[in-house]
Amino acid sequence: MPSLKISRRSFLQGAGGVAVALPLLEAMVDSAPALADSLPKRYVVCFGGQSLGGDGDPLHNDYVPNIIGPNYDLKSALAPFADHNNVKNEISVVSDLWIPSAEGGPVPPGGRVDGFHVSTLSPLLSGVRSSSTRAVSNGPSSDQLMVDVLANGTTFRSLVYRIQADWYLQSSPPEGHMISYRANGSGNPIPIPPTTSPRLAFNTLFGNFTPQDPAEAARQEFELRARRSVLDLVRTSSAALLPKLGRADRVRLEQHYDEIRALENRINAIPPPQTGTCQKPDDPGADPPIGGAMYDGDGQIHYDQNLGYSDEEQRARVFCDLIRMALTCDLTRVVSLQFTTFQSHMNVYQLTGQTFDLHELSHSAGGTLEVSKGIAWHMKHFGYLVAKLRDTPEGSGSVLSNSALVFLHEGGHGRDPSSGLRYSAHSTENMACLIAGRAGGLRAGQHVVAAGMHPANVLLTAMRAVGYPEVSLGEVAGEIPGLRA
Amino acid sequence: MEPRRAAALTFALIAVGCNGRSDLTDYTQVNALVGVSGARRLSRTEYDNTLRDLLGDTTNSGFGTLPPDANDPFDNDYRTQLTSPGLVEALESLGMSAAARVVADPAKRAAVVGCAPSGPGDAGCFRDFVTRFGRRALRRPLATDEIQALLGLQSFSREQNDFYTGVKLVIQALLQHPEFIYRVEVGTPVGAVGGLYHLNSFEVATRLSYFLWGSAPPDWLLDLAAVQRLQRPEEIRSAAGRLLEDDRARARVNRFHALWLGYHQLPHSAELTRALQTETAALVNKVIFDDASDYFDLFQANQTYLNDFLADHYGLPRPGSSSFQWVSYGASGRKGLLSHGSFLSAGAKFNDTSPTQRGIFVRTRLLCQQVEPPPPTVNVDQPPTSPTSNCKADRYAAHATVGSCAACHRKLDPIGFGLERYDRAGHFRTTDDGHPECPISGDGRIDELGAFNGPAALEDLLLASGELERCVTTQLYRFAMGKQESPDEAVLIGQLATKFHGSNRSFKQLLLDFTSHETFAYRRDE
């Protein structure tokens, strides 16, 4: 069965932009070996809003393996990697990372201000030092830098999703909601609000896939034609509206019209042939309802009543399935998947049985082993995503062979420069992160100790593995030695 | 207070300057009072309200699908609104499904279409529908070429031999139209002052209805706009009065209070959350609408609205019913909204109330002061500790001994300690949770206002301060304009606060005075 996917758009460009019949495309797919170099490369960045250890616990984490190199041991935070036929063989752990802190002085390059929360956002995602504890990035995030390298021609330049459905903290303004930042015309990073609805993601990604049933296909053909007419009508309203507006409103509305035009292009894109591994996923159904506010930690109250929880378990599974298929069908080559927000107040009772939110897990007396249960929930779904990509054949390997995925954690564990405490979750000492995929000679299933290096070095390694030409990310330069063959 | 006098003086000058006439001719003066504004996207709540009123669609489909609004504390700050691929995808998807729901429901679609088609190609009925619904959706009459473009969608009706196919697509198109999603104001430039614009009547209708209802203007309001009857302040005032008669105004005023005082979401079980919100909404409705009494009654009421469940929660006498009834607070020491569990739930931290957070809340929300965030070197995720005591008062006293912390915490923590006998769900207590050896005195103080003990005494202090009228006016202005005021807008807020004070603090009068203020029909370019 032909399993190779080629870029439809680049193929069509080569064919003069003319829509072609499926058999020709299939014929080209059958000549797979000749096209080995044209297999799409993918870049995925994931984030979990937690540090690795608990306050006051001398144990920095239950995450970093004892064994260095291959066949590393799984501690409790990474225990889910034993599943899916030992998916740990596809995932490398990079340990002994850090983000330098200001230590009362100026913030160093790639560093952070001393106050912890959200201070890691900018250096972690963009490699550029933070200047405050506000949730802003001072540089474009790695995924949006990769859009310019990888996405050209794919239907979706990037997917920006978040699993945690709400901020959940009642009386403070939302922080840490966004992990993707693109550079605007003036080079300033602008956040991209994530899609939090799996239902919407499904509709958007697969709404124009042709159903097998002829009657359904005819109905859908009609609907697509109607949608195009509708969007065309909506977009052309700009001609009358924009000239009437003042400068600020014109910019605001122009950006919205640009997004409408981009949506039109996505809808006009020819859906990929559903052959081999590219298939429309099962309909995920309605989104789970959004839960209410969460106490900022608690040991007793009503954890089973949907407080601070919107069935993120199901949301995570659906998003991972959708991302897997979007990558397989080459609908996109860049994904940003935020599992939880910075300083996440998601209630974990339904997930781990603990009567806390993620943030309080780090600060309550439970210590590092309790924190690790929260991390392990993230790992369960990350492992699932990696396994799905591994099990999706492509060319002579799998989709995973042509991908680079990174999982970032908000913090490490160790000394907190603001309090001076030695064993604090408010620390960027002893950080670690994960890298998966085999694109660009990435070595899978390794534990690599990268003393003194920065999480952005891991991002850069993954970026370069899928074709990023630069030698630095923000203010952080160089790859992690030993991660690529 | 100095600023208050200055504000009143400016108002007097303007009142003289316009000779009692409603249309100002001195645009320099009006320009000084009009705040800048920009195109505002419907919040998730406004989107859902609007679909309800335009289509009879009560699914609240926007809430879980549109990107979340940033509540800080209001959900409509247009300067934080960003467009994105996810936003336009959501709007398309929501528009398609809402339109499909309408045409699948014969009663709803008849109401929306407004005429009975003779067949799939009934051009007259289709044109009537497009013209009428287009005006409701975009909140202005459609131009001829806009109508023409929408009529083109009827070709899909003929193709499918179904009149309502085209109806669905027209709805789908209008629900994605940027002038539906954004409240765009253009107006007419006035005077020699650059950047000042007089809104047209339809723009005034939209401002009014989204301010007072959080939803689209009804047909009668658009009809007034069509005959230019929303230009003069007394015309706008009369329309505002009519909007205030509707239950949607009650819901909107309640939402303002819930966002302002932090109880639109509560960290409690669904049952307790519902009960607490019912209690507070009942008091807001009673003071502002049913009794239309002094707004300060919101903070002075000696009765509250309880059922047996909520009475048990508070330890107050049961009304003897599962339905809500007004019950006297008696000698419980409680009074007014600040004694409600809804308000007392705000700012919990470390498995308990946070005196610091409550202090910040009182200063920022009720006194409209700025509280600077802690310096980035401070760890706010660990409760204060004391080497000698487990009692909360002693632990927080440690703050006051650390030089760099003391200055701020002295202004904050004592306020919270004045509420400390009420836990984070509004239960009364006299000792620290889990520490019966740690008595709670309940003594608090606001440095510049004085000492108090408990929410009732705090309310007395706030009312006597003379600050609360100004602050609630400021908060209302932020909610109305979808942004933080700039310093020059403080003059207008001062004028409104003075009027509020002079009207025996009728909140309805405040709403009417704002909408009929000379500035309401103007905008200034950003």
B378 touches chain A (CB under 8 A): yes
The reported pLDDT for the residue numbered B68 is 86
Q: State the average pLDDT over residues B427-455.
A: 96
Range with lowest mean pLDDT among A13-22, A178-187, A392-401: A13-22
Range with the largest mean pLDDT of A29-33, A438-442, B78-82, B370-374? A438-442
> Radius of gyration over alpha carbons of chain B, in Å?
26
Where are the alpha helices (H) located in B336-467, listed in sequence order? 341-344, 355-361, 392-401, 403-417, 455-465
Q: Mutation test of the interface with chain B: which of A167, A172, A181, A234, choosing the one with the most B Cβ atoms within 10 A?
A: A234
pLDDT at B19: 34
Tell if the CB–CB gap between A114 and B92 is shorter than 8 Å.
no
Averaged pLDDT, A74-91: 98
Report pLDDT for B155.
Answer: 97
Query: 3-state DSSP helix/strand/coil percent for chain B, to nearest 5?
Result: 55, 10, 35
Q: For residues B275-297, b (16+ Cβ closer than 10 Å) or e, as one string?
A: bbbebbbbbbbbbbbeeebbbbb
Residue B168: strand, helix, or coil: helix
Q: Say if residues A198 and A262 touch (Cβ distance below 8 Å).
A: no
The per-residue pLDDT for A34 is 41
Q: What is the pLDDT of residue A44?
A: 98
User: How far are the Cα atoms of B105, B157, B240 from residue B167, in angstroms, in the given order?
Assistant: 13, 8, 32
Q: Is the pLDDT of residue B7 over 50?
A: no
Contact B293, B287 (CB under 8 A): yes
Give strand pairing partners of A43: A334, A404
Q: What is the mean pLDDT of residues B196-214?
A: 97
Contact A263 B92 (CB under 8 A): yes
Residue B348 pLDDT more than 80? Answer: no
- Residue A4: is its pLDDT beyond 60? no
Average pLDDT of chain B is 91
| Same domain membership, residue A424 and residue A447 | yes
Residue A210 has pLDDT above 90, yes or no: no
> What CA–CA distance (Å, rounded) separates A68 from A63?
13
Q: In chain B, positions 115-174, which contact chain A (CB-CB < 8 Å)?
A: 143, 145-146, 149-150, 152-153, 156, 159-160, 165, 169, 172-173
The angle subtended at Cα A45 by Cα A286 and Cα A76, nearest 5°, is 85
Nearest to B132 by CA among B112, B117, B149, B152: B112
What is the average per-residue pLDDT within A264-273?
A: 90
Which residue is closest to A260 within chain B, CA to CA? B88
Q: Give the 3-state secondary structure of chain A.
A: CCCCCCCHHHHHHHCCCCCCCHHHHHHHHHCHHHHHHHCCCEEEEEEECCCCCCCCCCCCCCCCCCCCEECCCCCHHHHHHHHHHHHHHHEEEEEEECCCECCCCCCCCCCECCCCCCCCHHHHHHCCCCCCCCCCCCCCCHHHHHHHHHHCCCCECCEEEECCCCCCECCCCCCCCCCCEEECCCCCEEECCCECCHHHHHHHHHCCCCCCCHHHHHHHHHHHHHHHHHHHHHHHCHHHHHHHCCHHHHHHHHHHHHHHHHHHHHHHCCCCCCCCCCCCCCCCCCCCCCCECECCCCCCCCCCCCECCCCHHHHHHHHHHHHHHHHHCCCECEEEEECCCCCCCCECHHHHCCCCEHHHHHHCCCCHHHHHHHHHHHHHHHHHHHHHHHCCEECCEEHHHHEEEEEEECCCCECCCCCCCCCECCCCCCEEEEEECCHHHECCCEEEECCCCCHHHHHHHHHHHCCCCCCEECCEECCCCCCEC
Contact partners, residue B448, CB within 8 Å, separation at least 6: none
Query: Six-digit token pair at B505?
Result: 């603090």
> Would you say residue A297 has pLDDT above 80?
no
Rounded to whole angstroms, how far apart are CA atoms B49 and B56?
10
Name the residue among A173, A197, A241 with its Cβ closest to that of B65.
Answer: A197
Chain A residues with CB-CB distance to B176 below 8 A: 230-231, 234, 260
Measure A170 CA to nearest chain B CA, in Å: 6
CB B147 within 8 A of CB B134: yes
10 Å Cβ neighbour count for A174?
18
Among candidate residues B362, B342, B332, the one with its CA nearest the CA of residue B461: B362
Structural domain containing residue A220: 209-268
Regarding whether A294 and A262 lie in a shared domain, the answer is no
CA separation (Å) from A379 to A48, A408, A415?
Answer: 9, 11, 25
At A307 the pLDDT is 81
pLDDT score at B158: 96
Domain co-membership, A411 together with A459: yes
What is the end-to-end Cα distance of chain A in Å, rounded? 30
CA distance B105 to B100: 9
List, for residues B135-170, the tens digit of each pLDDT value: 999 999 999 999 999 999 999 999 999 999 999 999
Percentage, residues of chain A above pLDDT 90: 74
Lookup: tokens for B40: 């505002």
A256 interaction partners in chain B (CB closer than 8 Å): 83, 87-88, 178, 181-182
In this structure, what DSSP letter does residue B79 have? G
| Residues A149, A249 within the same domain | no
In the predicted model, is pLDDT for residue B116 greater than 50?
A: yes
Give the residue from B40, B322, B369 showing the smallest Cα distance to B182: B40
Average pLDDT score over residue span A386-413:
97
Contact A191, A178 (CB under 8 A): yes
With beta carbons less than 8 A apart as the criterion, state whether A413 and A393 touch.
Answer: no
Torsion sign (Cα): A325, A327, A331, A332 = positive
- Tell whether B80 is within 8 A of chain A (Cβ): no
User: Does the pLDDT value for residue B522 go beyond 80?
Assistant: yes
Residues in B touching A238 (Cβ below 8 Å): 178
3-state secondary structure (DSSP) of residue B52: helix
Whether A175 shows a pLDDT value over 70: the answer reads no
Query: What is residue A176's predicted lDDT score, i.e. its pLDDT?
Result: 62
Residue A32 reports pLDDT greater than 70: no
Residue B75 has pLDDT above 60, yes or no: yes
Contact B267 A113 (CB under 8 A): no
Residue contact B85–A160, C-beta within 8 A: yes
Looking at B307-449, which runs of residues are DSSP E strands?
A: 325-328, 348-349, 352-353, 431-432, 435-439, 443-446
DSSP, res B328: E
Average per-residue pLDDT for chain A: 89
pLDDT at B188: 93
Tell me whether residue A14 is in a domain. Answer: no
The tokens of B52 are what? Answer: 């309800």
CB contacts under 8 A, B 246-305 vs A, are 262, 265-270, 273
CA distances from A208 to A152, A328, B489 (A): 20, 16, 50
Question: Measured between alpha carbons, how far is B441 from B438 in angstroms, rounded to an integer?
Answer: 10
How many other C-beta atoms are found inside a 10 Å radius of the C-beta of residue B312?
11
Token pair of B296 as six digits: 């300060």
Q: Which residue has the higher pLDDT, B72 or A303?
A: B72
Q: Does B361 touch chain A (CB under 8 A)?
A: yes
| A86 and A145 co-located in one domain | yes
B419 neighbors B458 (Cβ within 8 angstroms):
yes
Average pLDDT value for residue range B62-75: 90
B-chain CB neighbours of A204 within 8 Å are 89, 93
Model ipTM value: 0.92
Provide the 8-state DSSP code for B503: T
Domain count, chain A: 2
Q: What is the mean pLDDT of residues A331-358?
A: 92
pLDDT for res A379: 98
A6: confidence class by pLDDT, cuts 50, 70, 90: very low
The arithmetic mean of pLDDT across residues B87-94, rounded, is 98
Q: Which residues pair with B165 in a beta bridge?
A: none
| B2: CB partners within 8 A, 6+ apart | none
Confidence (pLDDT) at B352: 83
C-alpha span between B461 and B267 (Å, rounded): 28
User: Is a pLDDT exceeding 70 seen at residue A353?
Assistant: yes
Does residue A19 register a pLDDT over 50?
A: no
Read off the pLDDT band of B406 (50, 70, 90): confident
pLDDT of the residue at B266: 85
Secondary structure (3-state) at B183:
strand
Crossing angle of helices B123-138 and B144-151, rounded to 10°: 120
pLDDT at A25 over 80: no
| Inter-axis angle of helices B468-481 and B247-260, nearest 10 | 110
pLDDT class of A143 with cuts at 50, 70, 90: very high
Q: Residue A298's pLDDT is what?
A: 37
> What was the pLDDT predicted at B24?
46
- Residue B1's pLDDT is 35
Tens digit of each residue's pLDDT (9 = 90 or more) over B365-393: 999 999 988 776 666 767 788 888 889 99
- Are A230 and B153 contacting, i.e. CB atoms less than 8 angstroms apart? yes
**pLDDT tens digits, one per residue of B17-63:** 333 334 445 677 777 889 899 999 999 999 999 999 999 999 999 99
Chain A neighbors of B160, CB-CB under 8 A: 222
What are the backbone angles phi and psi of residue A144, rounded to the nearest 5°? -75, -25
Q: Which of A219, A246, A268 delimits the end of a domain? A: A268
Domain boundary among A228, A249, A268: A268
Torsion of CA B359, B365, B368, B370, to 10 degrees: 60
% of chain B exceeding 70 in pLDDT: 93
Q: Are strands B443-446 and B450-453 parallel, antiparallel or unpaired?
A: antiparallel
Which amino acid is located at A90 in the chain?
E
Which residue of chain B comes nearest to A101, CA vs CA? B377
pTM (whole model) above 0.95: no
Give me A28's structure tokens.
Answer: 């080209």
Instruction: Report whether pLDDT(A388) > 50.
Output: yes
CATH of the domain at A129: 3.40.720
Torsion of CA A313, A319, A325, A326, to 10 degrees: -170
Domain ranges of chain B: 40-69+82-183, 347-464
Contacts of B267 in chain A (CB under 8 A): 170, 292-296, 301, 307-308
The pLDDT score that the predictor gives to residue A418 is 87
**Please, are residues B324 and B225 in contact by the beta-carbon 8 Å criterion?**
no
One domain for residues A432 and A393: yes
Tell me, what DSSP letter sits at residue B305? E
**Does B484 have pLDDT greater than 80?**
yes
Structure confidence at residue B264 (pLDDT):
87
More reliable by pLDDT, A5 or A380: A380
- At which of A268, A290, A311 does a domain end? A268
- Terminus-to-terminus CA distance in chain B, angstroms? 30
